[in-house]
Amino acid sequence: MTDNEIRTIGIIGAGTMGSGIATAAVAHGTAVLLFDRSAEQLDNARRAARSFLARQVEKGRLSEAEAAAAGDRLRPVDALGDLGASDLVIEAVFEDFDLKARVFEDLSGELAAETLIATNTSCLRVDDLAAHVSRPERFLGLHFFSPAAVNPVVEVVSGKASDAAAVERALAWCRAIGKRPIRCRDSWGFAINRFFCPYTNEAVRLLDEGLADTATIDRAAEAAFGVGVGPFAVQNIIKPRINLHAIRNLAPLGAFYAPADGLVAQGEADRPWPIEGEPPPVEAVPPQLVDRLQGAVFIAVLELLDEAVAAAADIDDGARFALRFTRPPCALMDELGAARVAALVQPLLARHDRKAPTSLARVGSLLV
């Protein structure tokens, strides 16, 4: 054990994410002080953790004694002031800038100088939130993916002010609780949503253009990236409303990232996509569909590389472990080669009047 080790964390917000993060942490030996303004949410989170731990016992992954000890590591608290013993505090309240800013302002005085502070925001900028933290050098993003109790991926997001040692400490803790951290710089959509959003968005454009139905486009994604669950089915899991919100968040990046008309309609109505009928086998999917999905993802990934938001290997880990792409984008581009990748991205770049990413020149050795 070193002094740098994170043994106790505080979590603010015991909803979907806070409760999942707490469960992952206690299951791997970290003590958790959990705060929510709703006592009911705290009760629900404690119940969810206990039932997760009981399932781990049934599956033979934990002994009864280990599960009981893990359950005891989760301690609900009544006030932000009770989080003072934390080595790291993770904020997971509603996705609302002013609310988060207020939480950070209230929190800063309650913590020791060396306590790390993290936000689980999906769409806000770490640098914008950092302005509300008393020592921004100890502040970073820890973006967990749902369901956080089991999804291995966490984007560890450095803001401009984040201290390198603070980031290393957070990375080490993520590994200690069994996660696969993805190192990235603060940017719209961080590393994974930056290409996941254009992927689902391009799928809807194909539908809007009448080129295929949802089931066939989902099958095309299987051909493109080896996914078991295609872009329409996955939107139904995360909810079209949430997907639209994530895509709208990328608006500052230009027209290529703007939401498809069908996605706006479906997202605003928060209606699931109908996925009906028997799609063709994967070998018989129209190649144009596969090309468009690959082209859209490749543009976003090459731009991520241009902007040095994340390394190619980390982007592929995110695709593999958070999105279940069995053919992750950087490895796939290297396999297809520069000429083929250029042919896939050029029509979309022309359509959206976007300049070619300079990383195109590195295709073939992105992962070297």
- Considering the complex, what minimum distance in angstroms separates the CB of residue 163 from ligand NAD? 23
If the CB atoms of residues 14 and 227 are measured against ligand NAD, the closer one turns out to be: 14
- Considering the complex, what minimum distance in angstroms separates the CB of residue 24 from ligand NAD? 13
If the CB atoms of residues 16 and 108 are measured against ligand NAD, the closer one turns out to be: 16
Sorted by sequence, the CB contacts under 8 Å of residue 258 that are 6+ apart come out as 247, 251
Q: By beta-carbon distance, which residue lies closest to ligand NAD?
A: 15
Tokens representing 315 are 């982007």
Cα 48 to Cα 365: distance, rounded to the nearest angstrom: 45
Residue pair 93/12 in contact (Cβ under 8 Å)? The answer is yes
Secondary structure class of 5 (helix, strand, coil) = coil
Tokens representing 254 are 């230009």
Secondary structure class of 153 (helix, strand, coil) = strand
- Considering the complex, what minimum distance in angstroms separates the CB of residue 275 from ligand NAD? 21
- Considering the complex, what minimum distance in angstroms separates the CB of residue 176 from ligand NAD? 20
Cα 234 to Cα 368: distance, rounded to the nearest angstrom: 31
Check if 28 is active-site: no
If the CB atoms of residues 167 and 192 are measured against ligand NAD, the closer one turns out to be: 192
- Considering the complex, what minimum distance in angstroms separates the CB of residue 267 from ligand NAD? 15
If the CB atoms of residues 37 and 175 are measured against ligand NAD, the closer one turns out to be: 37
Strands across the sheet containing 180-185: 74-77, 31-35, 8-12, 88-91, 116-119, 139-144, 153-158, 180-185
Residue pair 174/156 in contact (Cβ under 8 Å)? The answer is yes
If the CB atoms of residues 18 and 328 are measured against ligand NAD, the closer one turns out to be: 18
- Considering the complex, what minimum distance in angstroms separates the CB of residue 12 from ligand NAD? 5
Residue-wise DSSP of 177-192: TT-EEEEEES-TTTTH
Catalytic residue among 28, 132, 143, 352: 143
- Considering the complex, what minimum distance in angstroms separates the CB of residue 355 from ligand NAD? 31
If the CB atoms of residues 34 and 212 are measured against ligand NAD, the closer one turns out to be: 34
Residues forming the site for ligand NAD (CB under 6 A): 12-18, 35-38, 41, 92-95, 99, 103, 120-122, 143-144, 146
Residue pair 67/54 in contact (Cβ under 8 Å)? The answer is yes
What is the maximum alpha-carbon separation in the chain? 61
- Considering the complex, what minimum distance in angstroms separates the CB of residue 41 from ligand NAD? 4
If the CB atoms of residues 11 and 293 are measured against ligand NAD, the closer one turns out to be: 11
* Amino acid, single-letter form, for residue 351: R
Q: 156 pairs with which residues across the strands?
A: 142, 183
Tokens representing 19 are 């409760």
If the CB atoms of residues 57 and 242 are measured against ligand NAD, the closer one turns out to be: 242
Q: Where are the alpha helices (DSSP H) in the chain?
A: 16-27, 39-58, 64-72, 97-108, 126-130, 164-176, 192-208, 214-225, 231-238, 240-248, 261-269, 287-306, 312-322, 329-336, 338-351
Secondary structure class of 275 (helix, strand, coil) = coil
Tally the C-alpha atoms within 13 A of residue 326's C-alpha that lie toward its C-beta.
8
* CA angle (267, 270, 271) in 5-degree steps: 105
Show which residues are catalytic.
143
